[in-house]
Amino acid sequence: MRLYNTLTRTVDEFSPREPGQVGMYVCGPTVQDVPHLGHARAVIVPDVLRRYLEWTGLEVLHVRNVTDIEDKIIARAEAEGRMAAAVADHYGRVYDEQIARLGVLPPHIVPRATGHVLEMIELIERLIEVGSAYPAGGDVYFAVRSFPGYGKLSGRSVDDLRAGARVDPDERKRDPLDFALWKAAKPGEPSWRSPWGPGRPGWHIECSAMAVKYLGDGFDIHAGGLDLQFPHHENEIAQLEAASGRQFARWWVHNGLLNIGAEKMSKSVGNIITLAEAIDGHGADVLRLYYLQAHYRSPVEFSEERLVEAGTAYARWLAFLRAVGDIEPSAAGSEPDDARRRFVAAMDDDLSTPQALAVLFDLVSAGNAHLAAGRRAEAAALRGAFTELAAVLGFGLERSERPTSVAPLVELLLELREQARARRDFAAADAIRERLAAAGVVVEDTSEGARWHVGG
């Protein structure tokens, strides 16, 4: 497939380092608060990439870290009057719960920063050895100007950054652009022993250390939100490549951000919609459809109306699946294969999920047309292609549950309604349908009798 690489600024033909095997590292959350809709996008995009790569026959080793020690966690702990570890543990659990609800495949490895302090210390020591880092007080800083490649990911030159000059001039830094690899602990702060005294790792060093520990130098894909491109990812590259002299990651994949009211959704802006409330309100599949209708690199503007529209479109999928039922598919026909071909072409083109979704919508339309014409086996064949491809995009397509406990009661009411209709007592028939609707049971009449399902 062809995949955009931020490092080259072009869409390049993707080929893994080891034939058949892909190593993918995704920047995970800083567990300092509940996840919001922006986090969901950053997790769905790599999920779709992984599922597609696996569907094409590759084996993907998926690593997603957890930043469980960081300034903001410490601040939160102080505010809540408990230990930083307790804060991280709590929000880590919340994150896991909500992300699981999204139907995202769990990563194979979920390394935590606090479990890899030794690896980070070793990396920092190595950086000091090669002259790319220096201790100052109890801190250690990375010397940005010692790494000639600095800026290659984000397309900036060190002098451009200088001009921006919004970096805090700390007198312990030799250069204002230098960033902390190790931070000395203030009294009462959580700390680890190190050659430079008690302290904690800087934010960027954990990803360099953990990615390479689990995936090795020059692993295939490093993903994350566009807002991490600079400085986080730039610093990750600098740290690892300055220390090893070898390439860190081969492909950099950045998802576009979720904006709200023309500003990105962000904790610090204070305009977040929590993931939990969005899933409660719309369902995981609808959220996924909402995101995937835009290309992964484009910004998406949050809109409740758009989400409702996505829900309407999604309802058509479920209605089609209900209408086809469990009919056996017909032998063949070229339609399913044509759809698969179009789907592959779309996904191979830099993960063009909008075009891939168009294939799914076309399958539903064509399938419904078959049904309307009485070609049920052909419709079932399209259902097969549809469910297969929808699964590649990560859709769960949970068909409305029909609780067995109420099924006999509903069937009884529908029988009574049929009798009422037969004697043209439509008032009674409609009353039954309305009462069922009020109870959450939707009744639809078809040429083969009434059909019912739970939910809207």
Residues 102-141 that bind RNA (CB under 7 A): none
161 counts as binding RNA under rule CB under 7 A? yes
Q: Which lies closer to RNA via its Cβ, residue 63 or residue 245?
A: 63
Q: Find the part of the chain contacting RNA (CB under 7 A) among 80-88, 140-148, 223-231, 238-246.
A: 223-231
The answer to whether 182 touches 127, Cβ cutoff 8 Å, is no
Q: Which lies closer to RNA via its Cβ, residue 57 or residue 326?
A: 326
Q: Find the part of the chain contacting RNA (CB under 7 A) among 131-139, 186-194, 261-269, 390-398.
A: 261-269
Site size for RNA, by CB under 7 A? 87
State the burial class of residue 433 (Cβ atoms within 10 Å of its Cβ: 0-12, 13-18, 19+).
Answer: buried
Question: Can you read off the two tokens belonging to residue 348?
Answer: 């191979």
Element (H, E) at 252: strand 249-255
175 counts as binding RNA under rule CB under 7 A? no
Chain positions 274 to 293 lying near RNA, rule: CB under 7 A, are 293
d(CA 318, CA 364): 10
Q: Which lies closer to RNA via its Cβ, residue 263 or residue 415?
A: 263
d(CA 327, CA 379): 9
361 counts as binding RNA under rule CB under 7 A? yes
Chain positions 3 to 22 lying near RNA, rule: CB under 7 A, are 9
Q: Find the part of the chain contacting RNA (CB under 7 A) among 123-131, 158-166, 212-220, 332-340.
A: 158-166
Question: Can you read off the two tokens belonging to residue 107?
Answer: 């990563």
Q: Which lies closer to RNA via its Cβ, residue 76 or residue 250?
A: 76
Helices (H), 293-425: 304-324, 335-348, 353-372, 376-392, 407-422
Q: Which lies closer to RNA via its Cβ, residue 17 or residue 303?
A: 303
Q: How far is the CB of 209 from RNA (least distance, A)?
A: 15
- Residue 263 CB partners (closer than 8 Å, separation 6+): 269, 271
Q: What pairs with residue 301 in β-bridges?
A: 259
Q: How far is the CB of 451 from RNA (least distance, A)?
A: 8
Q: How far is the CB of 218 from RNA (least distance, A)?
A: 22
Biggest CA-to-CA distance, the chain: 92
Element (H, E) at 208: helix 203-215
Chain positions 429 to 448 lying near RNA, rule: CB under 7 A, are 429-430, 433, 442-446
Q: Which lies closer to RNA via its Cβ, residue 19 or residue 166?
A: 166
State the burial class of residue 71 (Cβ atoms within 10 Å of its Cβ: 0-12, 13-18, 19+).
Answer: middle
Chain positions 226 to 255 lying near RNA, rule: CB under 7 A, are 226-232, 255
298 counts as binding RNA under rule CB under 7 A? yes
Q: How far is the CB of 167 from RNA (least distance, A)?
A: 4
Q: Which lies closer to RNA via its Cβ, residue 104 or residue 323?
A: 323
CA distance readout (Å), 417 to 413, 425, 426, 433: 6, 9, 9, 8
Q: Find the part of the chain contacting RNA (CB under 7 A) among 133-141, 240-248, 309-317, 386-394.
A: 309-317
Instruction: Pick from 210, 300, 307, 392 the residue near RNA by CB under 7 A.
Output: 300
Chain positions 138 to 157 lying near RNA, rule: CB under 7 A, are 154-156
426 counts as binding RNA under rule CB under 7 A? yes
Q: Which lies closer to RNA via its Cβ, residue 17 or residue 322?
A: 322
- Residue 419 CB partners (closer than 8 Å, separation 6+): none
Nearest to 71 by CA among 230, 225, 180, 214: 180
Sign of the alpha-carbon dihedral angle for 294, 297, 298, 299: positive
d(CA 165, CA 75): 26
344 counts as binding RNA under rule CB under 7 A? no
Which residue's entry shows tokens 């049904």?
371
Q: How far is the CB of 44 from RNA (least distance, A)?
A: 10
For residue 46, say if its preceding peptide bond is cis, omega within 30 degrees of 0: no
Chain positions 311 to 330 lying near RNA, rule: CB under 7 A, are 312-313, 316, 319-320, 323
Instruction: Pick from 306, 333, 338, 397 the residue near RNA by CB under 7 A.
Output: 306
Instruction: Pick from 23, 41, 127, 135 the residue near RNA by CB under 7 A.
Output: 41
